[in-house]
Copies of this chain bind each other. A is one copy, B any other.
Amino acid sequence: MKPRTVFFVSDNTGVTAETFGQSLIVQFDGLEFDKVTVPFVSTVEKARSTVLRINRAAEADGCRPVVFSTLVRDEIRKVLRGSDGLFLDFFDAFLAPLEKEFQMPSAHGTGRSHGIADLKAYTHRIEATNFVLATDDGCDLKSYQQADVILVGVSRSGKTPTCLYLGLQYGVYAANYPLTEDELEDATLPAALMDHRSKLYGLTISPARLFQIRKERRAHGRYASLPQINFELRQAERVFARHGVACIDTTQTSIEGIASTILEATGIERRL
């Protein structure tokens, strides 16, 4: 089947429009989509040229595109509504009930999500990301005082991407510590971690999946050998059990899923 073109149209970055459309189209099995993000449609002129683009796609595809839009201003939305696509606007659907609930008109202001408007919150996210980088891979154990959470696990269990996501998305100060050979051998934790035991969260993963990941990284040697991987994972789980460290299996879980599970379990505040 020919892919259907979907447009994510936004007057700002397009992040919300992408999330919006993406979470809907994944609900339709067997269909394929060509995805086009059109950000910064902030003038009537740009809206008109976007309409032309949508109409060209409609003609080329022989079926109408779906347009997921997050357009705050009525006059821009009005132009897009005239395209040959199926027009679904996020604000169209939800602003009215909220205006009624809050008994006030909405601001119709662009660039309010994913912007820098709330400089304090934004700076916090950047600082949290810098904290993740500075403490990555067991660096700077002195900073653990500041950490909201410290992820522990063997190499390539998913610690770093999860920490980065926690920092960038939620402004969470997430450190991570890879268990060393000695610690695995003895199933112990270093003193630096014992002092912050309540902040620890373990990551584990299936041997088969870890084998696959490590092999991609370094095909030969002990690092990507199944006996070594089995040993490391078994010992890491022993460490978690011995010290009462909660732990999540990352084999089937995305970084968003791991992050959300950890926040839910620990009660760490999302700084949205």
Q: Which residues of A contact B (CB under 8 A)?
A: 4, 12-16, 18-20, 22-31, 35, 37, 39-40, 64, 66, 70, 72, 86, 88, 90-91, 93-95, 97-98, 101-102, 104, 106-109, 111-117, 122, 126, 129-130, 133, 136, 160-161, 164-165, 168-169, 252-257, 259-261, 263-264, 270, 272
The residue from B13, B27, B29, B95 contacting A72, defined by CB atoms under 8 A apart: B27
The 5 closest A-B pairs by CB, nearest first: A114-B256, A27-B106, A13-B260, A26-B112, A23-B113
Bound CA span A169–B22, Å:
13
How far is A199 from B114 in the complex, measured between Cα atoms in Å?
25
Our pick among B4, B12, B29 for the contact of A257 (Cβ within 8 Å) is B12
Q: Once bound together, how far apart are the Cα atoms of A179 and B60, in whole Å? A: 45
Do B101 and A86 touch (CB < 8 A)?
Answer: yes
Decide: A252 and B116 in contact? CB cutoff 8 A. yes
Q: State whether B107 touches A27 (Cβ < 8 A).
A: yes
Q: Are B98 and A15 in contact (CB under 8 A)?
A: no
Q: Is the CB–CB distance between B129 and A35 below 8 Å? A: no
B-chain residues with CB within 8 Å of residue A14 when the two chains form the complex: 260
Cα(A34)–Cα(B67), bound, Å: 32
| A22 lies within 8 A of B113 (CB) | yes
Beta-carbon contact of A22 and B109 below 8 Å: no
Bound together, the chains give a CA A130 to CA B218 distance in angstroms of 14
Shortest distance between the CB of A151 and any CB in chain B (Å):
15
Complex interface: chain B residues within 8 A of A263 (CB) = 37
Q: How many angstroms between the C-alpha atoms of A64 and B261 in the bound complex? A: 27
Residues on B with C-beta less than 8 A from A30 are 104
Q: Which of A95, A256, A261 has the most CB of B within 10 A?
A: A256
- Tell me the minimal C-beta distance from A203 to chain B in angstroms: 14
Which residues on the B side are within 8 Å of A106 (C-beta)? 27-28
- Contact partner of A66 among B15, B29, B98, CB < 8 A? B98
A15 cross-chain contacts in B, Cβ below 8 A:
19, 169, 256, 260
Contact of A27 among B22, B108, B114, B272 (CB under 8 A): B108
The minimal Cβ–Cβ distance linking A205 to chain B, given in whole angstroms, is: 12
Most B-side CB within 10 Å, residue of A27, A30, A133, A259: A27
A49: min CB distance to chain B, Å:
13
Q: Is the CB of B254 within 8 A of A98?
A: no
Q: How far is the CB of A50 from chain B (nearest CB, A)?
A: 12
Report the bound CA distance from A106 to B30 in whole Å. Answer: 11
Please give, as numbers and ranges, the residues of chain B lying within 8 Å of A70 by CB-CB distance.
23
Which of B39, B90, B116 is in CB contact (< 8 Å) with A253?
Answer: B116
